[in-house]
C-alpha cells in the first residue's frame, strides 16, 4: 500500500488539496483532524474540561468514532451519529487543539489511523502524520501558508457558507493561537518531518497547489 502524509498548520488547505489529489489518483483520503474534532465535539457535548486527562479518559471509554467512506467521501460518525458537518466550527476547532495535546486521545485514535493505512492507498493529512502516525510513509509533505493568507481563505469559506458571525480579525487570532498550541504541545507537536518536502501555498491557487504536490508524489514514487 502507498501512503502520502500531508502535515501542516490549521487552514493551510490540507483537506481541500488532499481531497482533490486523492480523487485524481484514486486513493482514499483520510482527514485525521476530523477525528480529533469528533473527540472535541463529544467533549463539548459532555461539558468535560478538555485539559482534564482523567475525565477525558473516562469519556473515551464510552466513545465510538468511525470513518465511513460513502460514495468516495469521508464521513465521521460519533457514537453512531454522522457529525461531519457539526465538527466544522471555531469552538470545536479550538477544543480539538486542546484535546489533541493529550497522550490518551492520540493513543485512542492512533490504531484507527494506522489500520486504514494498512488496507488502502491513502492520502492522510494532519499535524503529526509524517512524524508519528505514518513515519514510514513513502511520500511526506509539509504544507503551509502565511497566517494572514490562511485566515483570509477561511473567512471567505465562511462567507460562502453563509457564516457571517466571525470577522477576519477573529479568525486570524484563532489561527495564530492554534499555531502556537499545536507547535508547543508536549505530545507530537506540529513540525516538519526531516524527510518531508516543504510546500508553501501562500501565492498559489488550488490548481497550482495540486499540480505541485502531484509532481512531488510522482517523483517520489
pLDDT in tens, 144-187: 999 999 999 999 988 988 887 889 999 999 999 989 988 998 88
| DSSP string of 24-81, one letter each residue | HHTPEEEEHHHHHHHHHHHHHHHT--TT-HHHHHHHHTT--EEEEEETTEEEEEETTE
Predicted confidence at residue 60, as pLDDT, reads 96
Predicted confidence at residue 155, as pLDDT, reads 92
Predicted confidence at residue 10, as pLDDT, reads 87
Q: Looking at the predicted structure, is the pLDDT value of residue 71 above 90? A: no
Predicted confidence at residue 31, as pLDDT, reads 87
Task: Give Rg (Cα) of the chain.
Answer: 17
Q: Looking at the predicted structure, is the pLDDT value of residue 25 above 80? A: yes
Domains with residue ranges and CATH for the chain: 3-215 (3.40.50.300)
Number of H-type helices and E-type strands within the chain: 8, 8
Distances (CA, A) of 131 to 41, 111, 173, 189, 194: 26, 15, 27, 9, 8
121: cell is 492507498
Q: Is the entire prediction scored with pTM above 0.85?
A: no
Q: How confident is the model at residue 67 (pLDDT cuts 50, 70, 90)?
A: confident
Element (H, E) at 159: helix 147-160
Residues 6+ apart with CB under 8 A from 135: 193
Percent of the chain topping pLDDT 90: 75
Q: Looking at the predicted structure, is the pLDDT value of residue 72 above 80? A: no
Instruction: For the chain, give the mean pLDDT.
Output: 93
Predicted confidence at residue 41, as pLDDT, reads 97
Percent of the chain topping pLDDT 70: 100
Amino acid at each position: 500500500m502507498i501512503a502520502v502524509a500531508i502535515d501542516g498548520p490549521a487552514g493551510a488547505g490540507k483537506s481541500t488539496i488532499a481531497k482533490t489529489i486523492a480523487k485524481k489518483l484514486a486513493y482514499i483520503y483520510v482527514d485525521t483532524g476530523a477525528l480529533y474534532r469528533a473527540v472535541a465535539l463529544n467533549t463539548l457535548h459532555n461539558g468535560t474540561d478538555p485539559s482534564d486527562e482523567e475525565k477525558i479518559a473516562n469519556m473515551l471509554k464510552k466513545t465510538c468514532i468511525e470513518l465511513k467512506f460513502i460514495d468516495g467521501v469521508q464521513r465521521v460518525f460519533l457514537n453512531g451519529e454522522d457529525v461531519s458537518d457539526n465538527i466544522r466550527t471555531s469552538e470545536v476547532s479550538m477544543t480539538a487543539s486542546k484535546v489533541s495535546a493529550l497522550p490518551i486521545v492520540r493513543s485512542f485514535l492512533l490504531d484507527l489511523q494506522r489500520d486504514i493505512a494498512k488496507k488502502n492507498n491513502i492520502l492522510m493529512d494532519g499535524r503529526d502524520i509524517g512524524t508519528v502516525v505514518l513515519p514510514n510513509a513513502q511520500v511526506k509533505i509539509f504544507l503551509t501558508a502565511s497566517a494572514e493568507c490562511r485566515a483570509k481563505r477561511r473567512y471567505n469559506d465562511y462567507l460562502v457558507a453563509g457564516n457571517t458571525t466571525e470577522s477576519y480579525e477573529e479568525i486570524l487570532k484563532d489561527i495564530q493561537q492554534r499555531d502556537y498550541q499545536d507547535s508547543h504541545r508536549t505530545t507530537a507537536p506540529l513540525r516538519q518531518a526531516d524527510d518531508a518536502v516543504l510546500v508553501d501555498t501562500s501565492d498559489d491557487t488550488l490548481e497550482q497547489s495540486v499540480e505541485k504536490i502531484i509532481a512531488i508524489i510522482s517523483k517520489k514514487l
